Amino acid sequence: MADIEFRVVSDRREGLLLELGRLIQTSGFNLLRQRMARTDEGVVLTMLVRGPEQNLLQLEDRIGSHALVQSFEAAAAEAAAHAPAPAAAPEPARARPQTDHPAEAHAAPTAAPTPDLVRVEPLLASIAREYPNIFNRVLTFEHALPLAQREATTRYAGSRVGAWIYKRDYALGARLGLADSIRHIAFPAMRHLLRGTELGDEGLRVHNSPFAGVGLHRNTACHFLRGCLEGLLNEPGHLGRPRIVETQCRNAGGDVCLFTFAA
């Protein structure tokens, strides 16, 4: 069991606690206490929840993708006790935007590299201006990162971009299952970024990934694209967390970069 404190920022007070309370309950957690306050940021709801640690990523995903949630932060309850008072502005590097990637941004018990959130924000602002011609900027950004941080940081940036594309261009319409989401959302969005993209039986094939053969990684290199696909498919919030793997990469000697999907 884990005690986690969530700090959620929303622009609406009505129904916020009810909606999030339902998410907490359906994820197997109990709401221990909560408080809500109107601040300069918007409506801030702080909730202390307790539940199985293995469900935490799912809960974070659900909260992060909820339409009422603008941004959120999550911390272990002990850490939260030492954190600044809720009214204080959050430290920029730890700010958790709505489309955040829980697996990476959450204070994980493992020593896996965490994304450099502070460096990502300016990149995202540039991407929003230059979309869909974004790859020169992403490549320059990735080159400037320490080797150990490249995968986590560019994958995180990609997931933010994917979520943003989803909300801009693909949010209207029915909630689709995974296969239809790949066919009607992930594939056209990726093809808009990279024309040499095909959808086959085995997955999404990218013929001209700009990340291959540029000396960024030794093996698979298209972490930004993988993140993008994760953002596109995770943002609707009803697919759980589909697993996206780059099973073949031109950077590692493959004919194409191949992304496979599993529910």
Q: At 29, is the secondary structure helix, strand, or coil?
A: coil
Binding of residue 118 to other proteins (CB under 8 A)? no
**Least distance from other proteins to the Cβ atom of residue 67, Å:** 4
Residue-wise burial string across 5-23, b where 16 or more C-beta atoms lie within 10 A, e elsewhere: bbbbbbeeeeebbebbbeb
Per-residue contact flags (x/-) with other proteins for residues 71 to 110, judged by CB under 8 A: --------------------------x-------------
Binding of residue 225 to other proteins (CB under 8 A)? no
Binding of residue 169 to other proteins (CB under 8 A)? yes
Q: Could you tell me which residues come within 8 angstroms of residue 90 by beta carbon, excluding any fewer than 6 positions away? A: 7, 73
- Using CB atoms within 10 Å of the CB of residue 110, give its burial: 0 to 12 exposed, 13 to 18 middle, 19+ buried: exposed
Among 108, 128, 147, 263, binds other proteins (CB under 8 A): 128
Return the number of the residue (91 or 169) whose C-beta is nearest other proteins. Answer: 169
Among 67, 81, 89, 147, binds other proteins (CB under 8 A): 67
Binding of residue 167 to other proteins (CB under 8 A)? yes
Taking CB under 8 A as the binding criterion, the range among 78-86, 171-179, 200-208, 246-254 that sits at the site for other proteins is: 171-179
Question: For residues 148 and 91, what is the distance between their CA atoms, to the nearest angstrom?
Answer: 23
Nearest to 224, CA basis, from 143, 130, 107, 170: 143
Query: Looking at this protein, which amino acid is placed at residue 130?
Result: E
Question: For residues 124 and 104, what is the distance between their CA atoms, to the nearest angstrom?
Answer: 17
Return the number of the residue (11 or 53) whose C-beta is nearest other proteins. Answer: 11
DSSP assignments along 37-63, one per residue: EEETTEEEEEEEEEE-GGGHHHHHHHH
Return the number of the residue (179 or 214) whose C-beta is nearest other proteins. Answer: 179
Cα 181 versus chain centre, distance: 17
Question: For residues 177 and 103, what is the distance between their CA atoms, to the nearest angstrom?
Answer: 22
Binding of residue 177 to other proteins (CB under 8 A)? yes
Question: For residues 174 and 239, what is the distance between their CA atoms, to the nearest angstrom?
Answer: 13
Question: For residues 24 and 30, what is the distance between their CA atoms, to the nearest angstrom?
Answer: 7
Binding of residue 176 to other proteins (CB under 8 A)? yes
Binding of residue 23 to other proteins (CB under 8 A)? no
Residues touching other proteins: how many (CB under 8 A)? 29
Which helix (H) or strand (E) is 126 found in, with range?
helix 117-130
**Least distance from other proteins to the Cβ atom of residue 53, Å:** 28
Binding of residue 119 to other proteins (CB under 8 A)? no
**Least distance from other proteins to the Cβ atom of residue 235, Å:** 11
Binding of residue 180 to other proteins (CB under 8 A)? yes
Binding of residue 174 to other proteins (CB under 8 A)? yes
Residues that bind other proteins (CB under 8 A): 14-15, 19, 67-68, 97, 124-125, 127-128, 160-161, 164, 167-177, 180, 184-185, 188, 238
